[in-house]
Amino acid sequence: VLSGCGVYDGTEIHEASAVLVHLSRGGAEVQMFAPDVPQMHVIDHSKGQPAEAESRNVLVESARIARGKIASLAKLTTADHDAVIFPGGFGAAKNLSTFAVDGKDCKVNREVERVLKDFHKAGKPIGLCCISPVLAAKVLSGAEVTVGHEEEEGGKWPYAGTAGAIKELGAKHCVKEVTISFAAHVDTKNKVVTTPAFMCETALHHIFDGIGAMVKNVLKLTGK
């Protein structure tokens, strides 16, 4: 499930690509979806500032990553899929929810909420990375997730405060690394698998490997 195209206002492209590579390596058949809604705003990524005069659609922008093969999130059903995965990027906190603005008081897009609840009810695994675990923390009561560490540690974990918000949402936060092959946290009861990814300032290959751990565990939980 994508949230646009670009780290500051949509899906983090490297995370989406890593998810797709690991799914491909695991032999999974993949379909991509995104909500057909306007973005919260558009960021000029060369400046890191909002482009005031622009507006974009989340589904249309996500199609860039999906190479055009994408459908509205409203069409995603548990009956046709074994698992669902949400890459990170600020789009998860701006377009899939209002977490970027409202923190623990955020609202989640109704289709995103439906998908999370439907997969959870069906006992099918849910994978999330980077900031997207806040979606599960908000929607799935008592879920266990990770966004990495709970202290900034000199800037290595710049978004460490997210862990506190996750606790305030009623979820359990589990401290995890990003630079080792077992960087994913598996909530076996709820079948929720999370990994920190770009919540940590580290080398890209470590993030790639951590996402691989998440994908591997999601595929394992499908039982196929």
Residue 42, in any domain of the structure: no
CATH number where 134 lies: 3.40.50.880
Report whether pLDDT(204) > 90: yes
Token pair, residue 210, equals 């951590």
Strands 84-86 and 172-175: unpaired
Report whether pLDDT(207) > 80: yes
Nearest Cα to Cα of residue 62 among 112, 16, 4: 4
pLDDT per residue as tens digits for the range 6-55: 999 999 999 999 999 999 999 999 999 999 999 999 999 999 999 999 99
Burial class for 18, CB neighbours closer than 10 Å (0-12, 13-18, 19+): buried
Residue 35, in any domain of the structure: no
Residue 24, in any domain of the structure: no
Nearest Cα to Cα of residue 85 among 142, 140, 124: 124
Nearest Cα to Cα of residue 193 among 138, 141, 124: 124
pLDDT per residue as tens digits for the range 75-88: 999 999 999 999 99
Residue 182, in any domain of the structure: yes
Range of the domain at 105: 71-222
pLDDT at 183: 87
Weakest-pLDDT range from 33-42, 102-111, 177-186, 206-215 = 177-186
Residue 172, in any domain of the structure: yes
Which amino acid is residue 163, in one-letter code?
Answer: A
Which amino acid is residue 198, in one-letter code?
Answer: F
pLDDT at 95: 98
Number of domains in the chain: 1
Residue 32, in any domain of the structure: no
d(CA 171, CA 37): 28
Residue 25, in any domain of the structure: no
Which amino acid is residue 116, in one-letter code?
Answer: L
pLDDT category at 140 given cuts 50, 70, 90 is: very high
Number of C-beta neighbours around residue 50 at 10 A: 14
Instruction: Judge whether 32 and 62 are in contact, CB under 8 Å.
Output: yes
pLDDT at 182: 72
Residue 87, in any domain of the structure: yes
Number of helices (H), then strands (E), belonging to the chain: the values are 8, 10
pLDDT category at 103 given cuts 50, 70, 90 is: very high
Q: What is the mean pLDDT of residues 127-143?
A: 98
d(CA 160, CA 152): 5
Which residues participate in catalysis according to the annotation?
Answer: 130
